[in-house]
Amino acid sequence: MFNIAICDDDDNFLGVEKAIISQYMDSRKTEYHIEQFCSGQALIALGQNLDSYSLILLDVEMEVLSGLETARKIREYSQVPIAFVTAYISYSLEGYKVNAIRYILKEMDSFQAGLCECLDTIMNQNDTMTSKTFVLDFREGKKEISIKDLVYIESRHHYCYFHVQNGEKVKIYSKRDKLDEIEKQLDNEALLRIHKSCLVNLSFVSDIKRYQMQLTTGEVLLIAQSKYLDTEKAYLIYCGRMDS
């Protein structure tokens, strides 16, 4: 089920968004549910239940609580993908701070194309994350690992340590292997080498600052200086903020 929240204080525009999304999902024969919100306050009242959404579309210019303010509050609970819908493309820096994947302009001649392109990005990322699982022999026993749950892998003293999300916790499994071989075996575009000893799942990244990567799990990983620019570019491409 692909759950989408759309939030706008213009009822007419909510109807336009819902119609475009419905047409898109029906054309892809995808099961979906769309929930409408007329204010940021109504949306953030869901708290941790925000994680149930595959995408949140936020109008930037809402009264009382703007889209940017709403996004900041959402980030206190969730790393759900957020796309902004706006009449003015002047918020890119603020959007970066809340990990926004898109700014979609409210120009009717291009809005549908922009919204569908955003949906393409999210759908493709979901396909990438859910299509692969691996059964690996760890020192802790044989385990089936899904790419969507794999936070990162670190290599130390001839062993690879797999950090895997399990509910609200992260479990660590280990096996004697080379990270180069593991990277070839997993072969997934969501996984990025940020250091000779670290392979990270970009879907768990919440922010990148100078030579550091903040994860949604609360951990901070170091990025090799030689890989920083490539890492930043790869992350922006993964989030859909720039072309490859």
Q: How confident is the model over 28-37, as pLDDT tens digits?
A: 998 999 999 9
CATH hierarchy code of domain 2-130: 3.40.50.2300
- DSSP, residue by residue, 192-209: EEEETTEEEEGGGEEEEE
Portion of the chain with pLDDT greater than 70, in percent: 91
Average confidence score pLDDT of the chain: 87
pLDDT at residue 242, rounded to an integer: 42
Mean pLDDT of 195-223: 90
pLDDT at residue 103, rounded to an integer: 85
Q: How far apart are CA 198 and CA 129, in angstroms?
A: 19
Question: What are the C-alpha distances in Å from 129 to residues 45, 82, 133, 205?
Answer: 28, 18, 9, 14
pLDDT over 80 (residue 126): no
pLDDT over 70 (residue 177): yes
8 Å CB contact between 103 and 92: yes
pLDDT at residue 91, rounded to an integer: 54
CATH hierarchy code of domain 133-239: 2.40.50.1020
Q: Tell me the H-state helices in 28-170.
A: 40-44, 67-74, 92-97, 108-130
Residues paired with 191 in a beta bridge? 201
Q: Where are the domains of the chain?
A: 2-130, 133-239
Q: How confident is the model over 187-208, as pLDDT tens digits?
A: 888 899 999 999 999 888 888 8
pLDDT at residue 90, rounded to an integer: 61
pLDDT at residue 75, rounded to an integer: 86
Q: How confident is the model over 36-73, as pLDDT tens digits?
A: 999 999 999 998 888 889 899 999 989 889 999 999 99
For residue 149 the two structure tokens come to 């749950």
> In this predicted model, which residue has the larger pLDDT, 87 or 136?
136
Q: How confident is the model over 75-122, as pLDDT tens digits?
A: 887 878 899 998 876 655 555 567 778 888 888 788 999 999 999 888
pLDDT at residue 98, rounded to an integer: 74
pLDDT over 80 (residue 168): no
Using only C-alpha atoms, the chain has a radius of gyration, in whole angstroms, of 19
Tell me how many degrees the CA angle 60-61-66 measures, rounded to the nearest 5. 70
For residue 211 the two structure tokens come to 């030579």
- DSSP, residue by residue, 209-240: ETTEEEETTS-EEE--GGGHHHHHHHHHHHHT
pLDDT at residue 133, rounded to an integer: 82
Mean pLDDT of 140-164: 93
Mean pLDDT of 220-238: 90
pLDDT at residue 244, rounded to an integer: 45
